[in-house]
Structure 1
Amino acid sequence: MSLIFQSNLPIDMTRERALPGVQPLDMSDWLHVDDAYGAQMAERMRLMECRLDDVRAQCVDAREPVREALALIVEQLGTMNGFQRSGDHMLCPDGRRVSLIGEPLCVIGALIQEDVCILQKPVGAEEHSLSAAILCFPANWTLAEKFAHPMGRIHQPVDSYDSNMQRRVQRLCDGLQVGRPLWRFNHGHAGPELFAPRAERDFDEGEASAVRNFLRAERQSLIRLPQSGAILFSIHTYIVRQ
């Protein structure tokens, strides 16, 4: 399979920040369309056709948050160059005409480069859990192993995600307010393939990629959905040559 690269990283993703590295997000800068849009979307469509069970998961309780997330995404795309809505369809920058009627997670996956996860905090629980996702471009993790688990369990193989970091992340999730979204970025060690799952038993946080002439980075956004109260966590994957 051919590799897909962007020409460069956004400038605000080139300066390292202390963990967890969150900063305010201007919603006009939430969803990105870059020079890899067409190629990444073709790969997303291929994965959703051939490996749907590997890239999509949803709890029953996540139905309303997922629908709310799709409505927010469609609203946002209406403000962006390259997208044009016509009734129940969206014309995308690569010329595809995507129906907005269908399984919401799959519609999301067909519209935007970002992977989307839904985080919900069950009544009485101490942490948010991953209740739904369309995850075509995992970097060293597998959706089936993380789905429906709380944040601490999700990050269990990561040594740097200690009890202190777990508390900080949960405070961040608890304190996230409607209308005050946040974003962060990371630079990862996964290979140059966009679909790069890895089982927990094979995880090695310190492992450097065998391919050293590229950089993989994720732009992650956190948005509190106003109706359901769930958190929309989006991930835009960049892979650039060095």
Structure 2
Amino acid sequence: MTAILQTQIPYNPLASQRLPGIKPLPVADWLRSDDAFGDQMAERERLLDTARDKVLMLDEGGRPAAEELLERVLAHLYPGAEDQVQRPDGVTVRIDWQDPLGTLGRITQQDFCILEKPEGAAEHVLTGAVLCFPASWTLSEKFMRPLIAIHVPVDSYDANIAARVQRLFDGVQVDRPLWRFNALWYHDPMLHQPRSADAPREQPRSEEAGFMRSETQSILRLPRTRAVVFSIHTFVLSRADVLRQWQQDEQDIETV
């Protein structure tokens, strides 16, 4: 399968940041498209058609939040849409309210995870997701699990980081989303890369890897259900494009 690559990214993925690296996000910037939109959407549709049970899961208790999320995304990207939307690549998609996450997977470039905090619980739980582009994790292993279990086996996700992330999920306010990014070097540029938590993990040396994979991750509070939405916009760039953009950014800073 041909690699689907962006040629640029709206931030410097090589910039160092302290975990969890959270920043305020203007609501207008919550969902964006980029130069790989058409190709990524075609891959999302292929996965939803051929591997739906692997890339989409929804607990019935999470359905109200999934429906509210679809309402929010339609209002944000396709205001006034009723029965169908026309994507930026010209493809028309029918809005199916019986399949809110499936519809979301076909109309936006982002993956979505819905996390809800049961009454009396200490952590948010993953009650639904459309995850076409997992980066070395498997949805079936994380579905209906709390935040700490979701982040196994991330070495940097220690008790201190776990407590800080839970506070962010507890405290994020309606219409005041937050965002962060990660960035890792990969040998394999494929977007759909599920991996079991127990499977060995490739750790390529940065100077040898040919691709940079970076996720723009945001958290947003839904006003009605109070669920927290974790959205993921995946960028995969060639090493040459990453370094070219970084060098241009450095030159721009020097000329200011």
1:241 to 230, 238, 241: 238
- AA aligned to 1:22 is I
CA distance in 1, matches of 2:81, 2:164: 43
Where does residue 162 of structure 1 map in the other structure?
A: 158
Where does residue 82 of structure 1 map in the other structure?
A: none
CA contact (8 A) 1:129 1:151 kept: yes
Correspondence 1:83-122 to 2 at 5 A = 87-102=82-97, 103-122=99-118
- AA aligned to 2:143 is F
Question: CA distance change for structure 1 residues 86 and 68 in 2, over 3 Å: closer, same or farther?
Answer: closer
Where does residue 227 of structure 1 map in the other structure?
A: 224
Ranges of 4+ aligned residues in structure 1 off by more than 6 Å: none
CA contact (8 A) 2:47 2:55 kept: yes
| Cα deviation code 1:22-67 (max 9, x no counterpart) | 1001011111110100000000000000000000001111011000
- AA aligned to 2:146 is P
CA distance in 2, matches of 1:137, 1:24: 24
Offset at 1:76? 0.6
Matched-pair identity in % = 44
CA contact (8 A) 2:74 2:81 kept: no
- AA aligned to 1:201 is D
CA distance in 2, matches of 1:108, 1:14: 30
CA contact (8 A) 2:185 2:209 kept: no
Once structures 1 and 2 are overlaid, which stretch shifts more, 90-99 or 7-16?
7-16
CA distance in 1, matches of 2:15, 2:56: 32
Matched position secondary structure for 2:141: helix
Where does residue 171 of structure 2 map in the other structure?
A: 175
Where does residue 8 of structure 1 map in the other structure?
A: 8
Work out whether 1:196 is the aligned partner of 2:206. no
CA contact (8 A) 1:139 1:188 kept: no
CA distance in 2, matches of 1:146, 1:182: 22
Matched position secondary structure for 2:118: coil
CA distance in 2, matches of 1:203, 1:137: 19
TM-score by length of 1: 0.93
- AA aligned to 1:132 is G
Offset at 1:13? 4.6
Work out whether 1:37 is the aligned partner of 2:34. no
TM-score by length of 2: 0.88
CA contact (8 A) 1:219 1:236 kept: yes
Q: Which runs of 5+ in 2 are unaligned?
A: 240-256
Question: CA distance change for structure 1 residues 189 and 57 in 2, over 3 Å: closer, same or farther?
Answer: farther
| Cα deviation code 1:119-145 (max 9, x no counterpart) | 101111110011100000000000000
Where does residue 67 of structure 1 map in the other structure?
A: 67
Aligned alpha-carbon RMSD (Å): 1.7
Q: Which runs of 5+ in 1 are unaligned?
A: 80-84
| Cα deviation code 1:203-230 (max 9, x no counterpart) | 43x7227971211000011000000000
- AA aligned to 1:186 is N
- AA aligned to 2:152 is Q
Matched position secondary structure for 2:192: coil
CA contact (8 A) 2:185 2:211 kept: no
CA distance in 2, matches of 1:179, 1:105: 21
Matched position secondary structure for 2:174: coil
Question: CA distance change for structure 1 residues 203 and 122 in 2, over 3 Å: closer, same or farther?
Answer: farther
